Protein backbone atom coordinates (compact mmCIF):
# COMPACT_ATOMS: atom_id res chain seq x y z
CA UNK A 1 0.00 0.00 0.00
CA UNK A 2 1.18 3.50 -0.78
CA UNK A 3 2.67 5.47 2.10
CA UNK A 4 0.83 8.81 2.16
CA UNK A 5 3.13 10.41 4.76
CA UNK A 6 5.24 13.20 3.31
CA UNK A 7 8.88 12.43 4.10
CA UNK A 8 11.01 15.11 5.77
CA UNK A 9 13.86 16.79 3.97
CA UNK A 10 16.75 14.45 3.23
CA UNK A 11 19.68 15.94 1.35
CA UNK A 12 21.12 12.61 0.21
CA UNK A 13 17.86 11.24 -1.23
CA UNK A 14 19.47 10.56 -4.62
CA UNK A 15 21.78 7.96 -3.08
CA UNK A 16 18.91 5.72 -2.03
CA UNK A 17 17.73 4.37 -5.40
CA UNK A 18 18.84 4.05 -9.06
CA UNK A 19 15.53 5.76 -9.84
CA UNK A 20 17.29 9.06 -9.06
CA UNK A 21 20.31 8.55 -11.31
CA UNK A 22 19.28 11.28 -13.81
CA UNK A 23 18.98 13.84 -10.99
CA UNK A 24 22.27 13.13 -9.25
CA UNK A 25 24.38 16.01 -10.65
CA UNK A 26 21.75 18.50 -9.51
CA UNK A 27 20.74 16.71 -6.33
CA UNK A 28 24.36 16.88 -5.19
CA UNK A 29 23.96 20.65 -4.93
CA UNK A 30 21.70 20.07 -1.93
CA UNK A 31 23.46 17.26 -0.04
CA UNK A 32 24.89 19.64 2.56
CA UNK A 33 21.51 21.15 3.44
CA UNK A 34 20.39 19.97 6.87
CA UNK A 35 16.99 21.60 6.35
CA UNK A 36 14.84 22.45 3.35
CA UNK A 37 16.48 24.76 0.79
CA UNK A 38 14.66 28.00 0.16
CA UNK A 39 13.21 29.32 -3.08
CA UNK A 40 16.23 31.64 -3.23
CA UNK A 41 18.45 28.53 -3.22
CA UNK A 42 16.52 27.15 -6.18
CA UNK A 43 16.96 30.43 -8.05
CA UNK A 44 20.66 30.47 -7.21
CA UNK A 45 21.05 27.09 -8.88
CA UNK A 46 19.33 28.43 -12.00
CA UNK A 47 21.56 31.49 -11.98
CA UNK A 48 24.69 29.31 -11.95
CA UNK A 49 23.90 27.80 -15.34
CA UNK A 50 26.18 28.98 -18.17
CA UNK A 51 23.06 29.43 -20.32
CA UNK A 52 19.55 30.03 -18.93
CA UNK A 53 16.79 27.49 -19.41
CA UNK A 54 14.24 29.15 -21.70
CA UNK A 55 10.57 28.59 -22.38
CA UNK A 56 9.59 28.39 -26.05
CA UNK A 57 8.51 32.02 -25.74
CA UNK A 58 12.17 32.83 -24.99
CA UNK A 59 11.70 33.63 -21.30
CA UNK A 60 14.30 32.41 -18.76
CA UNK A 61 13.00 30.29 -15.91
CA UNK A 62 12.64 32.04 -12.57
CA UNK A 63 11.30 30.80 -9.25
CA UNK A 64 8.39 32.64 -7.63
CA UNK A 65 6.20 31.72 -4.64
CA UNK A 66 2.87 30.10 -5.38
CA UNK A 67 0.12 32.69 -5.62
CA UNK A 68 -3.57 32.43 -4.89
CA UNK A 69 -6.32 31.70 -7.37
CA UNK A 70 -5.43 33.05 -10.82
CA UNK A 71 -7.49 35.99 -12.02
CA UNK A 72 -6.73 35.69 -15.74
CA UNK A 73 -5.51 33.17 -18.28
CA UNK A 74 -1.97 34.55 -18.10
CA UNK A 75 -1.86 33.93 -14.34
CA UNK A 76 -2.57 30.20 -14.59
CA UNK A 77 0.35 27.88 -13.87
CA UNK A 78 1.32 26.74 -17.39
CA UNK A 79 0.65 30.06 -19.21
CA UNK A 80 2.64 31.94 -16.59
CA UNK A 81 5.65 29.69 -17.18
CA UNK A 82 5.36 30.09 -20.95
CA UNK A 83 4.78 33.84 -21.02
CA UNK A 84 7.03 35.00 -18.18
CA UNK A 85 9.23 32.04 -17.27
CA UNK A 86 7.89 32.16 -13.71
CA UNK A 87 7.46 28.76 -12.05
CA UNK A 88 5.14 29.05 -9.07
CA UNK A 89 6.81 26.99 -6.37
CA UNK A 90 5.71 25.97 -2.90
CA UNK A 91 8.05 26.12 0.09
CA UNK A 92 9.32 22.81 1.49
CA UNK A 93 7.52 20.76 -1.13
CA UNK A 94 9.02 17.65 -2.75
CA UNK A 95 6.68 17.74 -5.74
CA UNK A 96 7.74 21.25 -6.72
CA UNK A 97 11.38 20.53 -5.91
CA UNK A 98 11.43 17.65 -8.38
CA UNK A 99 9.48 19.68 -10.90
CA UNK A 100 12.33 22.18 -10.97
CA UNK A 101 15.07 19.57 -11.20
CA UNK A 102 13.46 17.88 -14.21
CA UNK A 103 13.81 21.16 -16.12
CA UNK A 104 17.57 20.86 -15.70
CA UNK A 105 17.59 17.36 -17.19
CA UNK A 106 15.05 17.76 -20.00
CA UNK A 107 14.94 21.48 -20.86
CA UNK A 108 13.75 21.04 -24.47
CA UNK A 109 11.08 18.49 -23.68
CA UNK A 110 9.76 20.36 -20.64
CA UNK A 111 9.56 23.61 -22.60
CA UNK A 112 7.71 21.88 -25.43
CA UNK A 113 5.23 20.16 -23.11
CA UNK A 114 4.53 23.53 -21.52
CA UNK A 115 4.07 25.25 -24.89
CA UNK A 116 1.69 22.63 -26.29
CA UNK A 117 -0.70 23.24 -23.39
CA UNK A 118 -1.02 26.98 -24.07
CA UNK A 119 -3.14 27.19 -27.27
CA UNK A 120 -5.31 24.30 -26.07
CA UNK A 121 -6.10 26.06 -22.81
CA UNK A 122 -6.64 29.38 -24.58
CA UNK A 123 -9.11 27.79 -27.01
CA UNK A 124 -11.17 26.43 -24.13
CA UNK A 125 -11.35 29.85 -22.49
CA UNK A 126 -12.32 31.53 -25.77
CA UNK A 127 -15.08 28.93 -26.19
CA UNK A 128 -16.24 29.46 -22.58
CA UNK A 129 -15.33 25.89 -21.67
CA UNK A 130 -14.01 24.73 -18.33
CA UNK A 131 -10.22 25.22 -18.17
CA UNK A 132 -9.90 21.76 -16.65
CA UNK A 133 -11.56 19.95 -19.58
CA UNK A 134 -8.42 18.87 -21.37
CA UNK A 135 -7.98 17.12 -24.69
CA UNK A 136 -6.57 13.60 -25.08
CA UNK A 137 -3.23 15.14 -26.07
CA UNK A 138 -3.09 17.28 -22.95
CA UNK A 139 -4.03 14.34 -20.75
CA UNK A 140 -1.23 12.29 -22.28
CA UNK A 141 1.28 15.10 -21.75
CA UNK A 142 0.21 15.55 -18.13
CA UNK A 143 0.43 11.82 -17.42
CA UNK A 144 3.93 11.71 -18.83
CA UNK A 145 5.08 14.96 -17.23
CA UNK A 146 3.88 13.81 -13.80
CA UNK A 147 4.45 10.06 -13.84
CA UNK A 148 6.45 9.28 -16.95
CA UNK A 149 9.60 7.37 -17.68
CA UNK A 150 11.50 6.50 -20.84
CA UNK A 151 12.93 3.11 -21.68
CA UNK A 152 15.68 3.09 -24.27
CA UNK A 153 17.10 -0.15 -25.58
CA UNK A 154 19.45 -1.38 -28.27
CA UNK A 155 17.53 -4.68 -28.42
CA UNK A 156 14.06 -4.45 -30.04
CA UNK A 157 13.04 -7.75 -28.46
CA UNK A 158 13.36 -6.25 -24.97
CA UNK A 159 11.07 -3.38 -25.90
CA UNK A 160 8.62 -5.88 -27.33
CA UNK A 161 8.48 -7.71 -24.02
CA UNK A 162 7.26 -4.45 -22.45
CA UNK A 163 4.59 -4.03 -25.12
CA UNK A 164 3.49 -7.62 -24.54
CA UNK A 165 3.43 -7.37 -20.71
CA UNK A 166 5.90 -10.26 -20.43
CA UNK A 167 7.39 -8.94 -17.22
CA UNK A 168 9.00 -12.03 -15.75
CA UNK A 169 10.74 -12.82 -19.00
CA UNK A 170 12.01 -9.25 -19.18
CA UNK A 171 13.05 -8.66 -15.58
CA UNK A 172 14.10 -12.17 -14.54
CA UNK A 173 14.80 -14.50 -17.43
CA UNK A 174 16.69 -11.80 -19.36
CA UNK A 175 17.87 -9.95 -16.28
CA UNK A 176 21.58 -10.19 -17.12
CA UNK A 177 21.03 -8.43 -20.45
CA UNK A 178 19.35 -5.33 -19.07
CA UNK A 179 22.44 -3.58 -17.70
CA UNK A 180 24.07 -3.38 -21.13
CA UNK A 181 21.04 -3.27 -23.43
CA UNK A 182 18.31 -1.33 -21.67
CA UNK A 183 18.08 1.87 -19.67
CA UNK A 184 15.06 3.16 -17.74
CA UNK A 185 15.13 6.93 -17.22
CA UNK A 186 12.69 8.50 -14.79
CA UNK A 187 11.04 11.63 -16.21
CA UNK A 188 7.98 12.57 -14.14
CA UNK A 189 8.42 14.73 -11.06
CA UNK A 190 5.54 12.96 -9.28
CA UNK A 191 7.30 9.66 -9.90
CA UNK A 192 10.45 11.03 -8.30
CA UNK A 193 8.34 12.07 -5.32
CA UNK A 194 6.82 8.59 -5.02
CA UNK A 195 10.33 7.14 -5.05
CA UNK A 196 10.95 8.66 -1.62
CA UNK A 197 8.56 6.10 -0.14
CA UNK A 198 8.41 3.40 -2.83
CA UNK A 199 5.64 0.83 -2.81
CA UNK A 200 4.80 -2.23 -4.86
CA UNK A 201 2.34 -0.87 -7.39
CA UNK A 202 4.43 2.09 -8.58
CA UNK A 203 3.86 2.20 -12.33
CA UNK A 204 5.31 4.62 -14.84
CA UNK A 205 3.62 5.93 -17.98
CA UNK A 206 6.35 4.97 -20.35
CA UNK A 207 7.67 5.92 -23.79
CA UNK A 208 9.78 3.28 -25.55
CA UNK A 209 12.65 4.46 -27.75
CA UNK A 210 15.08 2.21 -29.65
CA UNK A 211 18.70 3.32 -29.66
CA UNK A 212 22.13 2.25 -30.86
CA UNK A 213 24.27 0.09 -28.62
CA UNK A 214 26.95 2.79 -28.64
CA UNK A 215 24.60 5.21 -26.87
CA UNK A 216 24.22 2.88 -23.89
CA UNK A 217 27.99 2.83 -23.51
CA UNK A 218 28.15 6.61 -23.17
CA UNK A 219 28.02 8.45 -19.81
CA UNK A 220 24.54 9.14 -18.51
CA UNK A 221 24.71 12.93 -19.15
CA UNK A 222 25.31 12.23 -22.85
CA UNK A 223 22.40 9.77 -22.89
CA UNK A 224 20.11 12.33 -21.27
CA UNK A 225 21.06 15.04 -23.75
CA UNK A 226 20.30 12.69 -26.64
CA UNK A 227 17.07 11.60 -25.00
CA UNK A 228 15.89 15.17 -24.49
CA UNK A 229 16.26 15.75 -28.22
CA UNK A 230 14.50 12.51 -29.13
CA UNK A 231 11.55 13.20 -26.84
CA UNK A 232 11.17 16.72 -28.18
CA UNK A 233 11.21 15.40 -31.74
CA UNK A 234 8.49 12.82 -30.95
CA UNK A 235 6.27 15.55 -29.54
CA UNK A 236 6.99 17.99 -32.35
CA UNK A 237 6.09 15.37 -34.97
CA UNK A 238 2.86 14.49 -33.18
CA UNK A 239 3.73 10.83 -32.69
CA UNK A 240 2.21 10.84 -29.20
CA UNK A 241 -1.41 11.94 -29.11
CA UNK A 242 -3.34 10.20 -26.33
CA UNK A 243 -2.83 8.38 -23.02
CA UNK A 244 -2.91 4.98 -24.75
CA UNK A 245 0.30 5.93 -26.55
CA UNK A 246 2.09 5.55 -23.20
CA UNK A 247 3.04 2.08 -21.98
CA UNK A 248 2.46 1.00 -18.36
CA UNK A 249 5.75 -0.03 -16.82
CA UNK A 250 6.10 -1.56 -13.30
CA UNK A 251 9.17 0.46 -12.54
CA UNK A 252 10.27 -1.36 -9.38
CA UNK A 253 10.85 -4.45 -11.49
CA UNK A 254 14.11 -2.94 -12.72
CA UNK A 255 17.01 -4.86 -11.13
CA UNK A 256 18.16 -3.04 -8.00
CA UNK A 257 15.23 -0.63 -7.91
CA UNK A 258 13.65 -2.62 -5.09
CA UNK A 259 15.80 -4.62 -2.68
CA UNK A 260 13.19 -7.40 -2.74
CA UNK A 261 13.36 -8.03 -6.48
CA UNK A 262 16.46 -10.21 -6.13
CA UNK A 263 14.09 -13.15 -5.73
CA UNK A 264 12.32 -14.78 -8.67
CA UNK A 265 9.07 -14.97 -6.69
CA UNK A 266 8.92 -11.15 -6.65
CA UNK A 267 7.82 -11.26 -10.29
CA UNK A 268 4.97 -13.69 -9.60
CA UNK A 269 2.84 -10.88 -8.15
CA UNK A 270 0.30 -10.50 -10.95
CA UNK A 271 -1.38 -7.60 -9.14
CA UNK A 272 1.75 -5.59 -9.92
CA UNK A 273 3.16 -7.37 -12.96
CA UNK A 274 -0.13 -7.50 -14.77
CA UNK A 275 -0.62 -9.57 -17.91
CA UNK A 276 -2.32 -6.80 -19.87
CA UNK A 277 -5.68 -6.64 -21.59
CA UNK A 278 -7.24 -9.76 -22.97
CA UNK A 279 -7.43 -9.84 -26.75
CA UNK A 280 -8.77 -12.02 -29.50
CA UNK A 281 -6.83 -15.19 -30.33
CA UNK A 282 -3.70 -14.42 -32.29
CA UNK A 283 -3.57 -10.79 -31.20
CA UNK A 284 -0.99 -9.31 -28.89
CA UNK A 285 -2.20 -7.58 -25.73
CA UNK A 286 -2.21 -3.78 -25.87
CA UNK A 287 -1.13 -1.30 -23.25
DSSP-assigned letters across all residues of 2-37: ---SPPPP-TTGGGS-GGGGGGHHHHGGGTT-SSPP
pTM: 0.92
Cβ proximity of 92 and 36 under 8 Å: yes
Whole-angstrom Cα distance, residue 242 to residue 140? 5
Q: What is the phi/psi pair of residue 239, to 5°? A: -80, -10
CA 142 vs CA 199, 280, 282: distances in Å: 22, 31, 33
Cβ proximity of 153 and 223 under 8 Å: no
Predicted pLDDT at 131: 58
Domain ranges of the chain: 17-131, 143-268
Q: Bridge partners of 148?
A: 205
| DSSP symbol at 37 | P
User: In what helix (H) or strand (E) does residue 193 lie, and over which residues does it extend?
Assistant: helix 189-194
SS3 124: helix
Predicted pLDDT at 92: 97
Which residues in the chain show pLDDT less than 70?
1-4, 128-132, 277-287
Amino acid sequence: MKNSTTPPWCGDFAQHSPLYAPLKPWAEQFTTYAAWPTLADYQRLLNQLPQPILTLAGEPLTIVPQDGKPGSFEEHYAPRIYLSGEIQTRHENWHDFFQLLTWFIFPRTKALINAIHIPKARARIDANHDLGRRSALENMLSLFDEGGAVVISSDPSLLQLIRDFRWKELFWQRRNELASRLQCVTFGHALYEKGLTPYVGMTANCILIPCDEALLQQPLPAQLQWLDGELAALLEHGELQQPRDLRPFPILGMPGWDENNRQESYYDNVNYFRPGRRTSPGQKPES
